[in-house]
Amino acid sequence: METMKRELFELKDLKLLVWELTESVDTLKGQLNLTEQDRIAFEKIVSEKRKLEFLGIRVALKSLLGKDIKIEYDSEGKPYLADRSYQISISHSNQWIAVMAHPKRKAGIDIECPTDKIQKLYRRFLSITEQKELSEGNDIRQLLLAWSAKEAMFKIIGKEALDFANQLRIYPFKVEPTGEMKGQHIPTKIYYQLFYQQTEKYTLVYCLE
């Protein structure tokens, strides 16, 4: 039987799990005690891919935290644990799932699979200054990291950061397999330290507030 390939990162109180989802819907479902609310929501899902994401995220969080969890969503669609024991963030791309938890601090995470489509879109999420600083769109790896960094910050900030190009700033950085970046929410002038890992299979960026 195939199982999820996973990578676990723990830094002080931060818990982070990256899984390559290879299991079936039935296998994942067998690892959960779905609440009545989740069961009803799951039965409404038509897409097999969405079913896998729905279950995979819950299995990942259960594995990360060592307990059954119940996910709720706020008015902006941000996920949170019903018991408020941890601040969480979740992300998925193709077969990859990433979940992150911290007992006190707001968390933001994003995972993306490689795509050259980013070169057609980067002007939408990078300011003119950022475009000049970040290879003028020539380095796909750098563009993916910049996009994921802004997604991670957005998951913390919410609707006050909808305009990625004008409300979020990524400062110049070198592309390495792992590293750090600096970002800023321009309206509030709050800075964020972002951490990343980039492999042939995915780009991962996360941060805390």
pLDDT by residue for the chain (209 residues), tens digit each?
233 455 555 567 899 999 998 999 999 999 998 888 889 999 999 999 999 999 999 999 999 999 888 898 888 888 999 999 999 999 999 999 999 999 999 999 999 999 889 988 999 999 999 999 998 888 999 999 999 999 999 999 999 999 999 999 999 999 999 999 999 999 999 999 999 999 999 999 999 98
Q: Are residues 97 and 131 in the same domain?
A: no
Q: Determine contact, residues 70/63, Cβ cutoff 8 Å.
A: no
Q: Are residues 80 and 25 in the same domain?
A: yes
Residue 160 structural domain: 111-208
Indicate the residue among 79, 105, 131 that finishes a domain: 105
Q: Are residues 62 and 76 in the same domain?
A: yes
Q: Are residues 201 and 122 in the same domain?
A: yes
Indicate the residue among 59, 90, 105 that finishes a domain: 105
Give Cβ neighbours of residue 3 (< 8 Å, ≥ 6 apart): 22, 23
The predicted structure's pLDDT at residue 4: 42
The predicted structure's pLDDT at residue 1: 27
The predicted structure's pLDDT at residue 68: 87
17: left (phi > 0), else alpha (psi -120 to 50), else beta?
Answer: beta
The predicted structure's pLDDT at residue 77: 84
Q: Determine contact, residues 180/195, Cβ cutoff 8 Å.
A: yes
Pairing of strands 5-11, 14-20: antiparallel
The predicted structure's pLDDT at residue 137: 81
Sign of CA dihedral 51, 196, 156, 169: negative
Indicate the residue among 80, 105, 130 that finishes a domain: 105
The predicted structure's pLDDT at residue 105: 93
Q: Are residues 118 and 89 in the same domain?
A: no
Q: Are residues 47 and 128 in the same domain?
A: no
Q: Are residues 116 and 55 in the same domain?
A: no
The predicted structure's pLDDT at residue 88: 94
- Counted domains in the chain: 2
Q: What's 90's domain CATH number?
A: 3.90.470.20
Q: Are residues 118 and 29 in the same domain?
A: no
Q: Are residues 56 and 115 in the same domain?
A: no
- Residue where the block lists tokens 């779905």: 34
Q: Are residues 84 and 153 in the same domain?
A: no
